[in-house]
A and B are shown apart, each in its own frame.
Chain A
Amino acid sequence: MASVATSPQPVPPQALPAPRERVSSWPLIDRICYWLCWVTGIGLCVIAVGIVLYMFVKGIGYLRPELFVKSPSASLRQTQSGGFLDPIIGTLIVTAIGTAVAAPTGIALGVWLSEYRRPRWLARVVGSSIEILAGVPSIVLALFGLLIVSQGFLSFLSQGSPQGSLGESFLDAGLFMALLAMPLIVAATYEALEQVPNRVREASCALGKTRITTIRRVLLPSIRPSMAGGVVLGMGRIIGDTAIVTVLLGLTLKNESVGSTPIIGTLRGTGSTLTSYVYYNSPAGEGNSHEKAYAAAFVLLMIVLLLNAIVTRITRGSEPGARSWWSRFSIQVRSIAGPSS
């Protein structure tokens, strides 16, 4: 009686894959729910694809290369004249200012919340404030901004005089756009730092490094992908915003600069962005040229999609534990509770 141990290993037979559960055997109501779930899942895809396709078709139809290089002109025949060069530049300027302000402050706040957080009451209060900020509508932020910048002493930011100004300029808009992006950046930095295991910090301390050096040299570089992801998401939110632009940017068709200094003049001046341009040209605004609205909206959508792709590429698989996408996404989502309108 040869035992299995000493005889030559038998050849494994062909494997049959394991059958999955048969839904058809479920009670009726369970089957209905199952198919409802499928319908919602596929329906989501259909809606998203529908939006993109629709904008694509309409946008491409009206997109002409000259639109990119001509400035908007105030003429009666809106459908034939002018382009959206100025709005594109406007979007770039506002996003640049907003990100430049939001990124360092957001990262610093995230670091403080994660690494220091003393005194305790301040940490709790600051955490709640950031959450509230995330939930405040951007139109309210815009109104608050208006209150601040129309004070005389801040008139250097725009074209006003010390007696009081309208407070509308790129600088003003960019500054308050930073408030939109900040919660996202703070949340991304904070969550990423919380994921770093304590032994990294302990190892650095054991080598005699101060805490701030640890943060700067060890922790922050290790969470670069998440931070970058947060920053890009913040940029996305800034790009998509219309409310702050409407209140704080003056909404002139062309970018009007103030004073004679070249760059500062533009920054202190008024202008428009792609979002306000789309609104202006839609039936809700005054332009009433839906061709240009579609074209500009298409460009805007492409920019946003590009940013999305960048975020996905940066943050995929870069975090320890390889959390599922919705766990990563929901962290970002929690910090954009407020609308980016």
Chain B
Amino acid sequence: MVAATARRPNPELAAAARSDRRAELLLGALAFGAFALIAFMVVTVVLKAWPSFSYNGLSWFGSGGNVETELRVMREGTPLPGHGLAYFRAWPLIWGTVITTVVAVVLALVISTLAAVFLTEFAPARVRRIIEPVVRLLAGVPSVIYGLIGILAIAPWINEHLISNSRKQSVIYVVQLNGANLTTASLILTVMILPIMIALCANALAAVPVSWREGSAALGVNRWRTIWRVSLRTAWPAIAAATVLATARALGEAVMLAMVAGGTAFAANPLDGLTFFFEPVRPLAAMIFQESEGLTIATLSHTIYAMAAVLLVSATMLSFAGWAAKQPMKRYGVRA
């Protein structure tokens, strides 16, 4: 009779399985920690910003005052008549952010689509090999350097050659016009977000199945038309996602805009005609950057954190929008 010998557990295997589970738990805890940290960040920033929002309500986003004056009030602690210390109307900042971002993204979209088409279709191999380091280089240049070139080279040039003295005189009582204005800011911002968009658009175009492009060529349709009617049409969800990513980048740009956009929180008015292009703006991120010394004062810090909260929530929403933009790609089974 064979006694059923209990299977002795192999100690090596058990130890190995234990170490595996330990590793998995550790890594899982780390992952959870990462998520917790980011969630914590959102919560704390919003909490710290809450006093400013609760005082001003939804009119926090509205207009009705001079931003610089309001901030000075908070620094000095002497409230304006009829308002509390935390009174704040952020519209000029928001409008400045919106204008610079929208202009930069639209320009970058057009330019990068053309550049991506150039890279994937028309460029000879030698030119392609040159453009890679070029785009990488543009992506790696730090913002301060863009800002430095802007403030020391481009802004003075615009000031000298594009803004006439009479124009400056005409608005001298409202705002000072110089080379640091929304045009300079938007142009440099465009250059800053171009590399991201070019890489993603080129990726999207290259992912279009070769069989479609070949089929179109075999029907006698020239290369540009093929791209226009087949490739771009297939790739537009990926291009939309790239645009969302570029918008996030543009929204958060602080240093370059702080140097170049003009330090006045002025709501540039399109109805001003050509002068509109030379009016200074002060986007949100640049504002936060410039006011970061004042974080020790309570009301001021609440207001600044309120601006940060707006940026944070926008970044989160853009992240979601990017995901949503990619959904139509699943229809064709094209991997972006």
Contact = CB atoms under 8 A, between A and B. Distances in A.
A279 B255 contact: yes
Contact of A312 (B28, B133, B251): B133
A135 B315 contact: yes
A325 B24 contact: no
B34 A109 contact: yes
A326 B119 contact: yes
A160 to B, nearest CB: 13
Contacts of A129: 34-35, 38-39
A301 B196 contact: no
B41 interface: yes
Contacts of A36: 114
Interface stretch (B56-64, B198-206, B272-280): B198-206
A92 B151 CA distance: 27
A144 B38 CA distance: 10
B319 A128 contact: yes
B133 to A, nearest CB: 7
B243 to A, nearest CB: 11
Interface stretch (B66-74, B159-167, B288-296): B288-296
B93 interface: no
A156 interface: no
Contacts of B137: 48, 52, 305, 308
Contacts of B149: 51, 54-55
Among B136, B138, B142, B253, which residue has the most Cβ atoms of chain A within 10 A?
B142
A126 B39 CA distance: 10
A33 interface: yes
A207 interface: no
Interface string B81-100: 00000000000000000000
Nearest to A327: B203
Given A44-B134, A341-B285, A137 B258 contact: no
A112 B252 contact: no
Contacts of A311: 136
Contacts of A282: 144, 147-148, 151-152, 259
B195 A113 contact: no
Nearest to B142: A240
Nearest to B292: A247
B31 A312 contact: no
Interface in B244-287: 245, 248-256, 258-259, 285
A88 interface: no
A324 to B, nearest CB: 6
Contact of B140 (A144, A308, A334): A308
Given A34-B224, A40-B118, A44-B131, A143 B304 contact: yes
Contacts of B196: 333, 336-337
Contacts of A132: 38, 315-316, 319
Contacts of A228: none
A1 interface: no
Nearest to B217: A21
Interface in B305-326: 305, 308, 311-312, 315-316, 318-319, 322
Contacts of A340: 142-143
B147 A279 contact: yes
Interface in A126-149: 126, 128-133, 135-144, 146-148
A141 to B, nearest CB: 8
Interface stretch (B122-130, B169-177, B208-216): B122-130
B305 to A, nearest CB: 6
A4 interface: no
A240 B132 CA distance: 20
A137 B147 contact: no
A136 B48 contact: no
How large, as a class, is the contact surface on chain B? 35 or more
Given A116-B24, A212-B19, A333 B139 contact: yes
A139 B35 contact: no
A242 B130 CA distance: 30
* Residue in A41, A123, A129, A146 whose Cβ sees the most chain B Cβ within 10 Å: A41
Given A109-B31, A139-B288, A282-B148, A48 B138 contact: yes
Contacts of B298: none
A243 interface: yes
Interface stretch (A9-17, A218-226, A290-298): A290-298
Contact of B114 (A40, A136, A143, A312): A40
A242 B249 contact: no
A307 interface: yes
Contacts of B32: 122, 126
Given A45-B130, A48-B134, A341-B255, A147 B44 contact: yes
A300 interface: yes
A284 B115 contact: no
B35 A338 contact: no
A259 to B, nearest CB: 23
Nearest to B20: A210
A159 to B, nearest CB: 15
Contacts of A294: 148, 152
B50 to A, nearest CB: 13
B30 interface: yes
Contact of A138 (B136, B198, B203, B254): B254
A275 B142 contact: yes
Given A137-B251, A308-B137, A324-B202, 19 more contacts: A41-B119, A109-B34, A112-B30, A116-B28, A135-B245, A137-B252, A139-B254, A139-B289, A139-B292, A140-B311, A210-B20, A243-B254, A290-B152, A301-B141, A329-B132, A333-B199, A333-B200, A341-B143, A341-B254
28 contacts: A26-B222, A33-B224, A34-B122, A37-B114, A48-B135, A48-B137, A54-B153, A111-B27, A118-B28, A135-B316, A137-B254, A137-B311, A139-B308, A140-B252, A144-B308, A147-B48, A212-B20, A240-B141, A242-B255, A243-B255, A282-B152, A284-B258, A284-B259, A300-B144, A333-B199, A334-B200, A337-B248, A339-B253
